[in-house]
Amino acid sequence: MYLTTEKKQEFFKKFGGDEKNTGSAEGQIALFTFRIAHLTEHLKKNKKDKHTQKALLDLVGKRKSLLNYCKAKDIVKYRELIKELGIRK
């Protein structure tokens, strides 16, 4: 599997502050970004996979709403997060 428990804990430790803090918006954004990149690569090979395309669009929408939440909560942390993850916004 492309996303192991250790990999998830690494994301939450790096972005969420603690590996058990899985509810942090920053950690979830990092996790969604990793999953979006994986699905994008999958769709480059499998252009007709409509179910994966729908899942990708759902993830992008969730990440966008979490980014808007972070932006409203703390603009400095938001800018650091998008810079570190390489998200265009």
* Residue 77 lies inside a defined structural domain of this protein: yes
- Residue at 19 is within a domain: no
DSSP-derived secondary structure for 10-67: HHHHHHSSSTT-TT-HHHHHHHHHHHHHHHHHHHHH-TT-HHHHHHHHHHHHHHHHHH
Mean pLDDT of each 10-residue bin along the chain, 89 residues long = 86 86 91 95 96 97 96 94 90
Asked whether residue 1 is assigned to any structural domain, the reply reads no
What is the total count of domains within the chain?
1
- Specify the pTM: 0.90
Domain enclosing residue 63, as ranges: 24-85
CATH of the domain at 39: 1.10.287.10
Any idea what the Cα angle at residue 62 is, between residues 59 and 65, rounded to 5°? Answer: 150
Q: 53 Cβ partners below 8 Å, 6+ apart?
A: 43
The answer to whether residue 7 sits within a structural domain is no
Asked, for residue 31, whether it belongs to a domain, the answer is yes
